[in-house]
Structure 1
Amino acid sequence: MSLKIMSVVGARPNFMKIAPFAHAIEREDDRIEHFLVHTGQHYDPEMYHSFFEALNIPTPDVDLEIGSGSHAEQVGRTMIAFEKVLLERRPDWVVVVGDVNATCACSITARKHHVRVAHIEAGLRSFDERMPEEINRMVTDRVSNLLLTPDELSGENLRREGAEEERIRFVGNIMIDTLEAHRARAEALDLNDILTSHAIDPDLKTPVDDGSFAVMTMHRPSNVDSREVLEPLVRCLREEVASKMPLVWSIHPRTRNRLETFGLWDELLADDRLILIRPVGYHAMLKLNMSARLMLTDSGGLQEECCVLGTPCITMRENTERPVTLVENGGVSELTGPDPEKITSALDTFLNMERRGHRPPLWDGKTAERIVTELENRT
């Protein structure tokens, strides 16, 4: 009798994490029956299909098509829709990843129906409960039967919160499985082809060389929703970063909207030291990261990739749920928030630092295999 596993993805960050898990299950022949649920929390069909295709993720067995809404609306609609699928399929395990609303909603629903839950990326904590993702992490970890941690600090967090030792398993970082599986494909891409094909300015003529530029992503409301924060941040990027090297900025739709609203967009377009591009796919961003001299971001996933690739990372956040990536823990990331002075200080430090990768324990590309083994051993 095969083991029945139902996996849940809800938003773009989940896609890179579920891909290696799905591939590891495929290698188990017929011992595992896998059912993939996409909640549709990430509701851009073009981006969603492109990510599934690029990462060779199996087509979801069902798309709940939850769409946008407040956190309460997304969680409520997801629980109602997911419950129907859960009762129809009756899996042995529900596997959730990360910290999006779908992760929290589906773990609660499964446990209410006495279905075991395994949480990939358990134990991550920013200790900032103003972040909705932090609430999702805490709730999901509390109800999960199996807590699959990406690093040793995460396991310590869970133990401090009273999680039983038999529920905690240190398996490593599944995001690095995806990085290692796709590194060669990303490396083969042409850097300047990426820039010209995604350029917001169709007359872009600024070529860049490996190691000669900075790359940036920024989307969090705390960085972009207030003019009082965003305007001095933009000034810092132009006067401090772009004055030292070309700055490739992958502009999130939310960020562009705010820049236009605050009257900052035209001055960015006019600055030829900035290379403004539309959002890129996974492989293109990996190539940019591998080639950049410096990363500026408020993305947790990019922090992790920079850590392994050795790209110095200015993390424009006040806190992080991934402290293993920070310089003080052997990594290559420094927290600055949106503070121009802290960004400038970190910039000066990193530009005088030799590039070096840091690979925490079990960030070896084999995390998905360990997860499948844990689930099989608990049948």
Structure 2
Amino acid sequence: MKILTVVGARPQFIKAAAVSNIIRKEHTEVLVHTGQHYDENMSKIFFQELRIPKPDYNLEIGSGNHGEQTGKMLIELEKIYLKEKPDLVLVYGDTNSTLAGALCASKLLIPVAHVEAGLRSFNMNMPEEQNRILTDHISKLLFVPTVTAEKNLHTEGVDNGVHNIGDVMFDAVLHFKKLAEEKESILDKISIKSGEYILTTIHRAENTNDINRLKNIIEALNESGKSIVLPLHPRTKKYIEDYNLQFNDNIKLIEPVGYLDMITLEMNSQKIVTDSGGVQKEAFFMEKPCVTMRDET
């Protein structure tokens, strides 16, 4: 069987790393990277570190408005699907890459498999919620991580092709924790000790696009007086510079890090503050107290 996998954002790289090696033992896989995350440290480094096979195609779509980004992906993916003629298209999560990969396949009558199906925030204003619902309703195989996700699909009338396989992200954490422990520790590079810092990440549009919300978050971090490590996402960095926001000395700003370094930072943190669904999950897997900066998740 020829399986065409579409990835484009950090969480998808991680999940693909846990799945692709298994797929390739018995099937042919064509890997397409949409280039949705264009920053060097947010894409290429993951393929290198996690030993994911080099993508067969890189669309280099980059950032843009949702319609523009998704439209460009549809145009380019259709060309690849027609050329490769896959038996199945595999998509992950809830990004624009997920929706474009699934929608393009559905239009060409190619079966779609969705990993992390059935997850719901119940906030239709979130682009991710729109993406995951649409993707689920055009998928033939729906791989759900939890019983709750399975129930969500049942409520929406989706019962066929649903398989509860557990959380692929947990598999990835278990596997890559070992690699992270073997790697030179990022703690030495940034001169910080294990258990003496709070790891913080901020990247979601609702937290960065709103100046008052972003300002309140940074003020809270400044006023905490706690030692904080903050890998600065490109989106967050742009808005911080645009708004001329300042950080106190208790906050150590670092460049975006690869997944193994992120695992190390999470493992050695005292607590975690994040708006990332993935980091929130990893905090739970590692039994770290976590404050999630979102209205729903």
Greater Rg by CA:
1
Task: Give 2:6's match in structure 1, choosing from 2, 5, 8.
Answer: 8
Structure 1 residue 183 corresponds to structure 2 residue 177: yes
CA shift, 1:46, in A, is: 5.5
The secondary structure found in structure 2 opposite 1:159 is helix
Partners in 2 of 1:179 and 1:310 — Cα distance?
13
- Encode CA deviations 1:48-100: one digit per residue, 9 max, x unaligned: 22110101000111122222221111111111111111111111111000111
**Matched residue, 2:132:** 137
State the distance in 1 between where 2:42 and 2:218 align: 27
Q: Give the corresponding residue for 1:208.
A: 192
Partner residue, 1:260: 241
The one of 53, 59, 67 equivalent to 1:58 is 53
Give the CA deviation at 1:208.
3.2
Whole-angstrom distance in 1 between the partners of 2:245 and 2:104: 44
Question: CA RMSD for the aligned pairs?
Answer: 1.5
Q: Structure 1: how far apart are the matches of 2:55 and 2:43? A: 11
2: CA distance, partners of 1:44 / 1:229: 25
Question: Counterpart of 1:209 in structure 2: which amino acid?
Answer: K
Q: Secondary structure at the match of 1:258?
A: helix
Q: TM-score, normalised by structure 2?
A: 0.95
Paired residues of 1:194 and 1:284 also in contact (CA < 8 A): no
CA contact (8 A) 1:8 1:37 kept: yes
Residues 1:314 and 2:295 are matched in the alignment: no
Aligned equivalent of 2:279: 302
Q: For residues 232 and 85 of structure 1, what CA distance do their matches in structure 2 show? A: 45
Contact 1:99 1:136 in 2 (8 A): yes
Equivalent residues in 2 for 1:70-81, closer than 5 Å: 70-81=65-76
Structure 1: gaps spanning 5 or more residues: 196-206, 321-379
* Alignment partner of 1:107 is 2:138: no
Task: Single out whichever of 73-82 and 182-191 deviates more from structure 2.
Answer: 182-191
In 2, Cα distance between the equivalents of 1:89 and 1:230?
44
| Paired amino acid for 2:233 | H
Distance 2:61 2:251 in 1: 37
Q: SS of the counterpart of 1:176? A: helix
Measure, in 2, the Cα distance between the counterparts of 1:181 and 1:5: 23
- For the 8 Å contact 2:39–2:234, the answer to whether it is kept is no
CA contact (8 A) 1:192 1:208 kept: yes
Distance 1:192 1:62 in 2: 35
Seen in structure 2, the aligned counterparts of structure 1 residues 316 and 63 have a Cα distance that, compared at 3 Å, is same
Query: Is it true that 1:235 corresponds to 2:219 in the alignment?
Result: yes
* Alignment equivalent of 1:24, drawn from 22, 25, 31: 22
Counterpart residue identity of residue 122, structure 1? A
Residue equivalent to 1:249: 230
Q: Is the 8 A contact 2:15 2:168 kept in 1?
A: yes
- Structure 1 position 45, deviation (Å): 4.5
Alignment-derived partner of residue 167 in structure 1: 161
58, 64, 72: which is aligned to 1:69? 64
Deviation at 1:184, TM superposition (A): 1.8
3-state SS of the aligned residue for 2:43?
Answer: helix
Letter in 2 for 1:184: K
- Distance in 2 between the 1:8 and 1:283 partners? 22
The aligned counterpart of 1:292 is 269
